[in-house]
Structure formats: C-alpha cells, structure tokens
Structure 1
Amino acid sequence: MISPPNDLAIHVSDLSRHVPALEGHLSILNGVDLDVKRGESLAITGPSGAGKSTLLALLAGLDRADQGAIWLAGEPLHQLDEEQRASLRGRRVGFVFQSFMLVDSLTALENVMLPLELAGGKAARSQAEALLHRVGLSQRLTHFPNQLSGGEQQRVAIARAFVSQPEILFADEPTGNLDHHNSALVEDLLFELNREHGTTLVLVTHDLTLAQRCQRQVRMVAGQLEAS
C-alpha cells in the first residue's frame, strides 16, 4: 500500500468497525475516509451513538478496526501490533479524555512527568513544572487529583498530553464535565498550545461553539462522516 502525502498527519481509508450483537453484527463505523493535514485543527461532531469516540480510539491506536487503513504521522497504524501501537502513541500522540484519566495516587506534577519517565526522557521534572506553570497550576504541583477541581484536573491532563510534545493530539469531549468558566479556560489552552507547538488537533465534541473554533468540522451520522 502506498504511503500518504507528507503533509497529512492522518490518512484513513475505508475504515469499518463492527461489534457482536443479537442480530449478528452491529456496525459502529462503516467505510470511513478521512484526511487531516499536519498542524490542522479538526472537530468531529454528531449525535450520541454515531461512532465519534470509536473513531477517535481507532485513530489513536487504542482499538483496532475490522477493515481499512490508518496512517498516523506517516506510519501504518493498521499494520502494527499492540506493542508497536503503544510505542507509536508514546512517541507521536497525546490524548485528553472527558473524565481526565489522571492517576489518583500521583500528584499533579507526577501525573505530568509520567509520560516522559515512561519514555525514558530526561529533565522530566523541569518540563512538567514548566507546563503546569503554563496552564496556571504552579501552586498545585503537590496536590493529588481528589484535591483539585474538575477544571484543574483537566488542565493537568492537558499539560500531561503536551509534555511529550506530540505531533497529534486527540481530545474526546475535553470540556464535557466542566462548567462554563472552566470550559472556556480549557478551550483557550487547547488552541493556544496547539498553535504554539504546531500540533495537529482532532477533537470530538457536542459543543458547536468549541467545534467552530477548529479550522475544519466534519459530522458523523450512523457511523459515517459528512463534511459540514
């Protein structure tokens, strides 16, 4: 299979995902094609159950498709085994979840240091401190997740996602659990860091205001993408 053009961060061709059901198989995604340019910000919108989060998980290598090809940062994700996919994520990808997904037993600083330490990077502490300062949490370094507000936890999660300087950042409903004030703060941080680092940003959201801040939007309906 021919690799995609170099200006593409993500290239998806004929992607399908099915799960077992009483009737046989339930189609979650069906023949999805998608290209995302390097440095682009893309919002995936659509109703609940349309397959948005499933698509994001496939693009990030957290799940495997039943059919189709995914090229991620120039690498054939669809041809990699679980260990290789994990290595690719560690080198190229950041992820921000709606539910924050912080490690409860680690402080804010330790949560942000974790990806660098797992990758064997140097100066993990100083890099983590710098990013926590950037997201306004210099006074929360030694606090554990249960000592932080929802907005603070999501800012820690954003710092953790960016600390490895990923080429591609995936965000699944990043403001879904936040109030209006914290949502606005988190949105600003995502786009500021996206611009500063030249990171490709792909996010799933029900928030049309957030979606409109992206350079491009696509809408998912019944497992298929429609340009909006």
Structure 2
Amino acid sequence: MSDMHAIKVVHLKKKVQTQEGELTILKGVDMEVKPGESVAIIGPSGSGKSTLLGLLAALDTPSEGEIWLDGSALSNLGEEAKAALRKKKISFIFQSFMLVDTLTALENVMLPAELAGMKDAKAKAQAMLERVGLSHRVNHLPKQLSGGEQQRVAIARAFICEPKVLFADEPTGNLDGGNAHKVADMLFALNAELGTTLVLVTHDNQLALRCQRQFTMTEGELAETTPGQRESKAQAQGETKMKEAAC
C-alpha cells in the first residue's frame, strides 16, 4: 500500500447470519483516506456506518476485502497484533463517552497513557484537560460533570497518546447544540494541531460539513459526495426543518 494513505479499504464486505438467513451489512466498500485528513461518514441508522467504523478500527473482521491501516494489512495480523496496533496507533471517541465511573477526570485521561507506559502520564493528562478547558475539573468524577464536560474528557483521553487515527462514533450525538459546537471545535482543533487522521460517523450534516471530505452510506454501499451535493443536501434539510416548524 502507498504510504500516502492512512486508511485504504478495498471491496470490503460484511455478512452476518440471522434467524431469517444471511444478511449483508456492507456490500463492497472502497475508501482511501490520507494522513491528517478529516472524513465524515453520514447516512441513516442501520445503513452500516458503525459496522464500517468497527472494521476500520480492527475491532471486527470483514467477510471479504482488505483494510490497510497506516501501512499494515489487517488480514495479516492476529488478534494480539491487532490489539497492539490499536494500542499504539488508534483512539476512539464514543457517543456515550465511555468514561470509567470510579475514576476522576484526570485519572480517566491518564489511563491510556499509563497503559502505554508513559512516565509523564499525569503531567500530559493535566495539560490535555487544560487544553479542553477542564483544568478546574481534574478531580471530579464523571457523574459530577455535564454531558459536554464528559465528552471533552473523552476527547482529552483520545488525544493524549497522539494517535495516528482517531475514530469518532456520533461524538456530539448526546449533546445540546451549544455543547456540541464546543466539542466539535476542540475535536477539529486537536485534529489539525496533532495531524491525527479523523474519521467520524454522524447524523449531523453540519458537523459532517466541517470535515474535509464526506461519504454517504446507503444500505451498505459507500459513496463520496461532492461539495455541490453536500450544499444541496444541507439546504434541503434546512428547508424541511422550516416546513416542519411551520406546521
């Protein structure tokens, strides 16, 4: 694979067995992402977005096709090697934050750094929390934080080890408009500063438009959208919302 790609996907398929028979979730997906790019995957629920994200992050195995992640063909790696790859090069941000309830904000951010053997994990965690505006919340437990604050802790945790690739699954899905905007600002600022490749799944078209490239997933098929298509879609969605509000 060319070194010019952080991610390369060729004819990726995912099939599962159900009570009704075989179900094809992904139908031959092709995709290339360059290092440092920000990419959004949009589409309706059940279209295969989260399945694709799990495959790209080496959390699942495709039925057919190949994935290269930072030059490594995932099909050539065993489970231990995949775990090592995730630990070294990948971070994940979840819609539900996925913080450890019994750890403080500082300890949650420190956790991946400690697992990676960083000697200055505490200092780096403090610096990351300061970056996301939470230096005054370092000793608070997740239950003592708002949803927006919890997601900012999750962002700090995701970036502390400076991953090559960051996957985000609906990173603003559980937040109100104001907090969603703040979290998105921090996500893209750190993405740009650290040169991390960002791949996010979202239902939010405005968030998707902030990415350099956008893909639409429809019934297991992935297609890149052009700027003109994105603008038309955003305008159509805005007009629909206005009509609904008027009814």
* Pair 1:203-2:200 in alignment: yes
Distance 1:24 1:121 in 2: 48
Residue 128 of structure 2 is aligned to residue 131 of structure 1: yes
Structure 1's unaligned 5+ residue stretches are none
Max Rg structure: 2
Letter in 2 for 1:31: G
Query: Which runs of no fewer than 5 residues in structure 2 stay unpaired?
Result: 226-247
Structure 2 matches for 1:164-183, cutoff 5 A? Answer: 164-183=161-180
Residue deviations 1:145-200, cap 9 Å, x none?
11111000000000000000001110000000000010000000010000100111
Aligned length: 225
- Give the whole-Å Cα distance in 1 for the aligned partners of 2:183 and 2:203: 15
Partners of 2:37 and 2:132 lie apart in 1 by: 22
2:7 matches 1:10: yes
Q: Is residue 46 from structure 1 mapped to residue 43 from structure 2 by the alignment?
A: yes
Secondary structure of 1:70 counterpart: strand
**TM-score normalised according to structure 2 size:** 0.90
Q: Distance in 2 between matches of 1:60 and 1:50?
A: 18
State the one-letter code of the partner of 1:97.
F
Given the alignment, which residue of 113, 116, 123 partners 2:110?
113
Q: Which amino acid aligns with 1:118?
A: L
SS in 1 for 2:203: coil
* 1:164 partner SS: coil
After superposing the two structures, state which structure 1 stretch, 80-89 or 208-217, moved more. 80-89
Alpha-carbon distance between aligned partners in 2 of 1:97 and 1:196, rounded to the nearest angstrom: 21
Distance 1:26 1:45 in 2: 21
Aligned equivalents of 1:215, 1:164: Cα separation in 2: 23
Deviation of 1:5 (Å): 0.8
Aligned pairs for 1:1-228 (under 5 A) are: 4-228=1-225
Secondary structure at the aligned position of 1:185 is classed as: helix
Give the partner amino acid of 1:102: L
Q: TM-score, normalised by structure 1?
A: 0.97
Q: How far apart in 2 are the matches of 1:12 and 1:78?
A: 12
Alpha-carbon separation, structure 2, partners of 1:18 and 1:103: 33
Aligned-residue RMSD, C-alpha: 0.8
Superposition deviation, residue 15 in structure 1: 0.8
**Cα distance, 1:226 vs structure 2:** 1.3
Distance 1:23 1:14 in 2: 25
Structure 1 or 2: more helix by fraction: 2
Cα shift at 1:42: 0.4
